[in-house]
Amino acid sequence: MGDRTTGKAKEVAGKVTGDKELEAEGRTQNLKGKAEDAAEDAKDAASGVAKAAKDALADDEVESEEG
């Protein structure tokens, strides 16, 4: 969240001071942070799906051995 927070602060500071370059830099940094957060969320979701699939396969193997 560091890039998002810092980016938003720069964006606001740029707006307040009329510094369009700082405002644009902040907007870019904020978007970079959002993209990084989305990538991390996707990674976590994929990890969860992989774990669920592994658990389901393990359960099927136990049931096959018992059956």
d(CA 21, CA 37): 24
The residue whose two tokens read 């009329």 is: 18
Rounded CA-CA distance 45/40 in Å is 9
Q: What is the pTM of this model?
A: 0.67
With beta carbons less than 8 A apart as the criterion, state whether 14 and 20 touch.
yes
- Per domain, the residue ranges of the chain are 2-66
pLDDT digits (tens, 9 = 90+) for 6-50: 999 999 999 999 999 999 999 999 999 999 999 999 999 999 999
List, for residues 49-66, the tens digit of each pLDDT value.
999 998 888 877 767 776
